[in-house]
């Protein structure tokens, strides 16, 4: 059983990953944009002071999604390859292939800035992982395709999810997406990476004790390359438990 520490994430194949998954807006990613944007439209512009994107990788669309409601977004990522890519996108401007994603995000969230560069100006990149998060330090936390694709251990999957939820203040919000039923996987002709197959029930089991207003949905996956097979995506929104609010409600 591979654990997170057994993989060399600094060697994450950023160009191959982008070519395989993010050079166009696929149907499953569009479904994520629609789902998450409906959640974010519940809040006014810049409602959240400090937001987290945990395990950001080289995927820019989660940062686009939360930019409409966040004054500051911290992208926390352990891989030096992905950190370098993110820093380059912020410094030199985003690749043209991200513009269709942003155009779609703006259709769904009109409060977003006019340009993608403006939206990304509120992002700060920090190298780190779940173990480096300060508990209860964010108003909103977002995580996309991370906990289930970083380990084969169910206990470590749970711990990663708990660290993600624990980084948010009581009464703050979570939004996440998980690859459904994906075990070990390979990007292009590169090495094999650890994965833990999850479904809606597994996500429900982990987050139900930690949250209120938990919603879990799923969408089918678009076709992917050999070695990167999955049956769909599990989508989550939730509010972290606030013990004080619960006590007040019980009186």
Q: Which two structure tokens, joined as six digits, stand for 176?
A: 């996440």
Alpha helices by DSSP H, 41-168: 61-67, 80-92, 99-108, 116-120, 154-166
Task: Dump pLDDT digits (tens) for 9-51.
Answer: 999 999 999 999 999 999 999 999 999 999 999 999 999 999 9
Predicted local confidence at residue 228, as pLDDT:
81
Q: Which two structure tokens, joined as six digits, stand for 99?
A: 């513009």
Under the banding of pLDDT at 50, 70 and 90, the label for residue 148 is very high
Predicted TM-score of the model (pTM):
0.94
Q: Tokens 């998980």 correspond to what residue?
A: 178
DSSP 172-231: EEEEEEEEET--SEE-TTS-EE----B-HHHHHHHHGGGEEEEEEEEEEPPP--TT---S
Phi, psi of 55, rounded to the nearest 5 degrees: 65, 50
> Nearest-5° angle of CA 162, CA 39, CA 95?
85
């Amino acid at each position: 059983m591979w654990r997170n520490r057994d993989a060399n994430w600094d060697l994450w194949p950023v160009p191959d990953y982008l070519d395989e998954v993010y050079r166009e807006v696929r149907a499953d990613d569009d479904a994520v944009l629609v789902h998450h944007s409906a959640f974010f439209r519940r809040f006014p512009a810049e409602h959240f002071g400090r937001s987290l994107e945990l395990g950001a990788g080289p995927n820019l669309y989660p940062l686009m999604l939360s930019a409409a409601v966040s004054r500051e977004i911290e992208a926390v990522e352990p891989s030096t390859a992905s950190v370098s890519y993110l820093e380059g996108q912020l410094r030199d401007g985003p690749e043209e292939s991200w513009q269709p994603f942003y155009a779609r995000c703006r259709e769904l969230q009109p409060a977003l800035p006019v340009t993608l560069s403006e939206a990304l100006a509120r992002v700060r990149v920090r190298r780190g992982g779940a173990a480096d998060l300060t508990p209860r330090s964010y108003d909103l936390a977002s995580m996309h395709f991370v906990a289930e694709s970083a380990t084969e251990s169910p206990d470590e999957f749970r711990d990663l999810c708990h660290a993600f939820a624990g980084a948010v203040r009581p009464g703050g919000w979570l939004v996440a997406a998980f690859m459904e039923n994906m075990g070990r996987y390979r990007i292009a002709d590169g090495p094999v990476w650890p994965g833990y197959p999850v479904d809606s029930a597994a996500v429900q089991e982990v987050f139900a004790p930690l949250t209120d207003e938990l919603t879990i949905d799923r969408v089918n996956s678009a076709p992917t390359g050999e070695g990167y097979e999955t049956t769909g995506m599990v989508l989550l929104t939730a509010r972290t438990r606030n013990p004080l609010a619960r006590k007040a409600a019980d009186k």
